[in-house]
Structure 1
Amino acid sequence: MWLSKEFEGARLAATAIALVLATPGAYLAGASYLADRREAAADTDAKTKNIAAAVAVAETRQRAQLIGPGAHRIDLSFRYRAEPANNAEGAEPQGSLTGIVAYYRRVNPARLVITGEPGAGKTLIALDLLLGLLTSPDRADTDPVPVRLSLAGWDTDRSFRQWLADQVHQHFRDRGITAADALVLVDHHRILPVLDGLDEMDADTTPIGRRRATRVLQQLNAYQDPTGSAPVILTCRTTQYEQLAARDLRLREAARIEIDPVTASQATAYLTTRSTNPDRWTSVLDELTAAPGGTLARALNTPWRLNLAVTAYEERHPDTLTYPYDPAYLLTLASPNVVRDHLLDRYVPAATQQHPTHPDRYRPEQTHRWLTAIATHLTATTTAAGPTTDIVLHQLWPMAGARRVRAADTLLTTLLLLVCTALLVTQLPIGSSLGQLFLAGGVVPSVLSTVWQASSHVVPDPKSLQLHLLHSRAQRGQIARELVRGLASGLLAGLAVGLTFALLVFLSVEPTFALLALLVSALLARRVFGLAGELVAPLNDAPPTEPRRALRDDVVVGLTMGFTVGLVSGLALGLTLMFVVALIFGVSYGFGLGFGLAFGLALGLAFGLRMAGASRRYVVFLCCASGQLPWRLGAFLHWAYGAGLLRISGRAYQFRHRELQDWLASHSVP
């Protein structure tokens, strides 16, 4: 008993001494941990502000394009539609566009579903809400940043968390947001997802149980933050959402609103404000006032249709500036569908002529033909998984015939590489040994790999450059140091490769030894390629700021990588042959220099063509699509975006409205 008490006292004393001795270390460790936490929080806040600034600029531009000249907005009204269960609290029975921010803030939890008919203004309300949340004077630094994303491209086999993080990374890589940063922002709920186009994920004939929209709602219902259901804003056409809701598939703990049709008085006010000469619209305005439920009023009861009407009838003759078309013609049309088709038929030539900067760059019939080809392709590639709405430049190549483009890509790539390989072989002296042939064959694996990629139906995503970092002096210095270090390391490894290959020329051509030496050389060459990749790594990992940027950067990466690999391997091999082997074996210096340069050219070209696989396939596609599409397709699509025929969503173009895409696909002749 006494011993046990003594032992307990000794144990307590030892524990006390250990605590005293450990206190400074524990204090320092705790202080370091808190400092790290503060630094991480400050970094997260800075990245959040960075994203918020980018979103505000991009979405302000997008809203201006939707509204059109004059910045006149219809104050759309909406009604709250209560579901049988799982409704959010605080939703008012009615609301309007101008009060959407206050309406949303009363909803608890902050989950909102915006529904309406096609063209009713769902995207416009989502944009106003997004910009209102960003510019609100009482916005806190810790508030999540609303980011609008298109649901059409979501592969629902991936979790919502992974998809959202990937989208944030893709959209804001040019702002320095890495994949790891995006995941941290998503996990800390610093991103408020504004998800546009639930109705565009599936074909109407797809069974409800197999629709991607069904899986989207299931995943969003499981999306939570520490307080419960996490904030989400979702848009969908009324019909499609009600089809899902009829099977008890809906966004839980959410408030659903439905946009009302534009009234005759709202349409009258809009046409009066948007037109440059309201007197021309007198007969239309009188008809809307006299028959608010008539054919014309029902045809012009959405912002999209009103925008079509103004665009179609505000067109002027380029020389006389007179109006060639009278809006009174609308009164002669028999039904809302006839009015719709008439306005869509007039929209492309009118928007072309009214382009704010380059109205005469493309003729209306050209524009219609090219856009029809793209719309037809999107319609033809619609699958059971859902319709295609994104116009991504490097993914359009099947338009010209998938087999035809792949065959042309393979043929042209093979011919180009054969020319360079033939140039390399010409540098070998007559009567070359087997070892010299092995030396020349060092480029064969890279050539075969590039040709195999050219024949594949899978095209890699474009590579990109983070050139915005060059605006910072500190970043410029860091990048320069990394480039010099990578070049030096690559040159040293290249010398090892060159020496190994050179020894093959003069050592015994015993097959076993030759194969072993070739294997060692291949492993060393792989190291050269890895080091060459490190040369552009400081500039890599940036997204396109607009859809054309992706292929432009892909070309730059291909040229940079090809030049780097060619320079390192050619210089290393040339120096080895000139100053090492020549001194030992008395071989001509000219052979070493010429062969090294030819080797570097062939290897660099093969590597560059492989790295720029997306842009290479795109160029081949344009050659195969000659006559079907313009040669400068990217420039044309950007011009069409400026004319209001297309819109931008991430790295893709989309038609201004799905109704326009469907109409063009079924009307090849205007």
Structure 2
Amino acid sequence: MFTLLLALVSLAVAAAKALKPPAVDLVQASGKLAEAVETSELAQRTQLLGGDNQPIDVAFTFHAAPSRVASGAVPTGRLSEISDYYRCLRPRRLLIAGAAGAGKTVLAVELMLSLLEQREADEPVPVRMALAGWDTSQPLDEWMADQLADTYQLRKPTARRLIDRGCVLPILDGLDEMDAEVDAGSPRAAAALAALNWYQAGRQKGPLVVTCRTTTCDALAARRIRLLDAARVEVSSVTAEQAQRFVETRVLAPEDWYPVVDHARRHSHGAAAHVLSTPWLLTLAVTVYEAEGDPVALLRFTDPEALRSHLLDRFVPAAIELHKRAGNRVYRPEQVINWLGFLARYLSDNIRKHRAMGGHVLSGTDLVLHRLWPIAGMRARTVDIAISGIAGVVSVSWLVPFSILYPTRVPFSIIWALLVIGLIYASARSAWPVPKSISPGRLRTPEGRRAVVGPVTVAVIATLAVSLAIVVPYIGQPGYSPTLVLVNLFLLLPVGLIGGLAFGLRRNLETTASSKGPNALVRVDLRSGLLIGFSAATALAIADFGAISIAAPGPMGSVGGALIFFIISVVFYGIFVGVLGIIWASAWRRYVATVLCTRRRLPRRLGRFLAWASEAGLLRIAGNAYQFRHRELQDNLADTQ
């Protein structure tokens, strides 16, 4: 016995060393991140351009400030030259300003993709982050690390090291979206600029890119609040010639637009000229009148704001009609407006009220399936716990008859019940569940095999310890047999090994944003849970078969009898153990709870609807989140009842 305990201690020491997190290879981690960002932003670029691949080559002009300006800025530039323009800045700090819909985000994305195409191994990876979700009481570097972990599923230590070592170039989108009203003083935007002005890279100001509406920039500058040591550029209006080239490449009958373009050329301050002056409004108008109507009707409007509202009100039905013509799934326009309006009001309330829940500031732009539960309030967490509880009851319901039939296995039943209760408790405590992914393919790599050594060792130690704890009370008792130890090892070891492998493969797993869309995260989480649950069920069936073969070989006298027993065991454990996969899949379960709690306000298959809305051009995908195509569309839908 003493020798066995000594062996357990030795194994524990070895496990402690194996569980130590592996050193992070920053070059490799940066390379993986760069690939993930490029994949995500290429898809985002296509969505921002309305399914096209050629952006309008908008111009921009340098906006000089009295002092603390980055050197190397030239007076003018174009979208096609943005990478060269940025590389000439010292320090490399750029503020992209412009009117609503001027193409600030497109310019930022174009810069990111150009930098990624030209990137050397030691250069930082540009990563776009929405400023609307930043609680400025949290340090900037911590928030950026959280964004990397949430969007690209990096481990927090890896994300933090990438930030600390300057391996990430922050592309901070939407400074103007941090506050609901500019007139209120933009307190969050002001706090953000204060933090960005402290952002350092060694002895120099840290490189970054920020996008913001001109009105917000000017309002803050009037209070002497601005981004220091940066070059501010203003995105120029689309020219009449650029607008004409745009419609000629986008519509089936461009001649219908020539009177509108000609009118805008001759009346540069009219409502039609206003519509053609920004890529967003131009796309809006083309979508609306390509679906139905004559674009000459634009000339009847004299008020630019009235024309803007007219186009926004007609955009959703028009996008649905064009998507229908392409042979895609169709929802009724009133359904889409109601569902998107509900989501838009939720996001707008988050911005206006600066809402926080579970220690997180609620985003005013991002719709992430497993993080959308605050839209239903605490009811979603209650339903989530109820789902876990039901799965737990099913999982332990077999223990009472099992313990009555096999009294010597009561300790095993107690351990199993405690394990299930622990899983439910851990699930209930988590306000923000993280999607989990199991990657068996990693066992083919040296890194993957090293990742599971520690957890599997711990599983073996725990199995031996529990087996001893079960057997010791029966030593010297009537009917005791050494085979009892083997029986318990057969029962517990497979479950321990499955748990160790799952933890090891997940613990050091670094996945990227899925190219299959944001819905893939909850699907992978459920698939991983089912894999763990049914693997454990199969392992228990095999273990039970082996244990009974040792303890009572009589029933296994024939091959047919053994096969029937094994099949019954697989079905039995598949039902009562496999259900634990639902408790494991916490992100999927929270998403299901959210859908159940909002079934009268949102579609039952919310993920499929959001994916459809993205394909229809109403939403866009940013990393693992859905966002409205434009903030103006979100605000317009938020006002619908």
The amino acid of 1:540's aligned partner reads L
The amino acid of 1:462's aligned partner reads P
Distance 1:187 1:272, change over 3 A: same
- The one of 110, 130, 136 equivalent to 1:156 is 136
How far apart in 1 are the matches of 2:300 and 2:420?
Answer: 66
CA displacement at 1:294 relative to structure 2: 1.0
The residue aligned with 1:384 is 354
The residue aligned with 2:610 is 637
The residue aligned with 1:369 is 338
The residue aligned with 1:419 is 394
The residue aligned with 1:625 is 598
- The one of 337, 345, 350 equivalent to 2:313 is 345
* RMSD of equivalent CA atoms: 4.1
Distance 1:90 1:428, change over 3 A: closer
The amino acid of 1:75's aligned partner reads D
The residue aligned with 2:583 is 610
Q: Tell me, yes or no, if the aligned pair for 1:440 and 1:599 is still in contact at 8 Å.
A: no
- Secondary structure of the 1:83 match is coil
- The one of 296, 299, 314 equivalent to 1:328 is 296
- The one of 503, 507, 518 equivalent to 1:547 is 518
- The one of 44, 56, 59 equivalent to 1:77 is 59
- The one of 612, 617, 629 equivalent to 1:656 is 629
The residue aligned with 2:17 is none
The amino acid of 2:77's aligned partner reads G
How far apart in 2 are the matches of 1:596 and 1:273?
Answer: 64
How far apart in 1 are the matches of 2:521 and 2:288?
Answer: 34
CA displacement at 1:195 relative to structure 2: 1.5
Distance 1:94 1:462, change over 3 A: same
- The one of 218, 232, 249 equivalent to 2:194 is 218
Q: Tell me, yes or no, if the aligned pair for 2:341 and 2:638 is still in contact at 8 Å.
A: yes
Aligned residue runs from structure 1 range 93-242, under 5 A: 93-136=75-118, 140-172=120-152, 179-204=156-181, 208=185, 211-226=187-202, 228-242=204-218
Pair 1:306 & 2:277 matched: no
Which residues of structure 2 form unaligned runs of 5+? 1-22, 356-360, 478-491, 555-561
CA displacement at 1:407 relative to structure 2: 3.8
How far apart in 2 are the matches of 1:45 and 1:260?
Answer: 38
How far apart in 2 are the matches of 1:533 and 1:70?
Answer: 43
Distance 1:221 1:412, change over 3 A: closer
The residue aligned with 1:463 is 436
**Considering only CA atoms, is the larger Rg found in Structure 1 or Structure 2?**
1
Question: Normalising to structure 1: TM-score of the pair?
Answer: 0.76
Question: Normalising to structure 2: TM-score of the pair?
Answer: 0.79
Distance 1:404 1:227, change over 3 A: closer
CA displacement at 1:653 relative to structure 2: 0.8
How far apart in 1 are the matches of 2:206 and 2:293?
Answer: 51
- Secondary structure of the 2:397 match is helix
Aligned residue runs from structure 1 range 486-497, under 5 A: 490=459, 493-494=462-463, 496-497=465-466
How far apart in 2 are the matches of 1:341 and 1:532?
Answer: 56
How far apart in 1 are the matches of 2:387 and 2:26?
Answer: 48
How far apart in 2 are the matches of 1:50 and 1:419?
Answer: 41
- Secondary structure of the 1:314 match is helix
Deviation per residue, 1:367-399 (Å, 9 max, x gap): 223222221222334432676111010122343
The residue aligned with 1:256 is 232
Q: Tell me, yes or no, if the aligned pair for 2:270 and 2:304 is still in contact at 8 Å.
A: no
Deviation per residue, 1:473-511 (Å, 9 max, x gap): 952x77579779977974674465356446769999xxx
Q: Tell me, yes or no, if the aligned pair for 1:284 and 1:327 is still in contact at 8 Å.
A: yes
How far apart in 1 are the matches of 2:104 and 2:288?
Answer: 23
Deviation per residue, 1:302-329 (Å, 9 max, x gap): 11010001111112xxxxxxxx411122
How far apart in 1 are the matches of 2:447 and 2:90?
Answer: 47
How far apart in 1 are the matches of 2:84 and 2:168?
Answer: 20
Higher relative contact order (CA 8 A, sep 6+): 2
How far apart in 2 are the matches of 1:505 and 1:296?
Answer: 90
Q: Tell me, yes or no, if the aligned pair for 2:456 and 2:497 is still in contact at 8 Å.
A: no
- Secondary structure of the 1:292 match is coil
Q: Tell me, yes or no, if the aligned pair for 1:423 and 1:598 is still in contact at 8 Å.
A: no
| Farther-moved stretch of structure 1 (265-274 vs 570-579) | 570-579
Q: Tell me, yes or no, if the aligned pair for 1:88 and 1:108 is still in contact at 8 Å.
A: yes
How far apart in 1 are the matches of 2:388 and 2:533?
Answer: 15
| Farther-moved stretch of structure 1 (492-501 vs 327-336) | 492-501
Distance 1:203 1:311, change over 3 A: same
Q: Tell me, yes or no, if the aligned pair for 1:80 and 1:92 is still in contact at 8 Å.
A: yes
Distance 1:618 1:169, change over 3 A: closer
Q: Tell me, yes or no, if the aligned pair for 2:494 and 2:536 is still in contact at 8 Å.
A: no
The residue aligned with 1:26 is none
The amino acid of 2:298's aligned partner reads L
Pair 1:277 & 2:262 matched: no
Aligned length: 587
- Secondary structure of the 2:402 match is coil
**Percent identity for Structure 1 against Structure 2:** 37
The residue aligned with 1:243 is 219
Q: Tell me, yes or no, if the aligned pair for 1:464 and 1:544 is still in contact at 8 Å.
A: no
| Farther-moved stretch of structure 1 (536-545 vs 596-605) | 596-605
Q: Tell me, yes or no, if the aligned pair for 2:46 and 2:52 is still in contact at 8 Å.
A: no
Q: Tell me, yes or no, if the aligned pair for 2:127 and 2:170 is still in contact at 8 Å.
A: yes
Which residues of structure 1 form unaligned runs of 5+? 1-39, 316-323, 509-522, 584-588
CA displacement at 1:616 relative to structure 2: 1.4
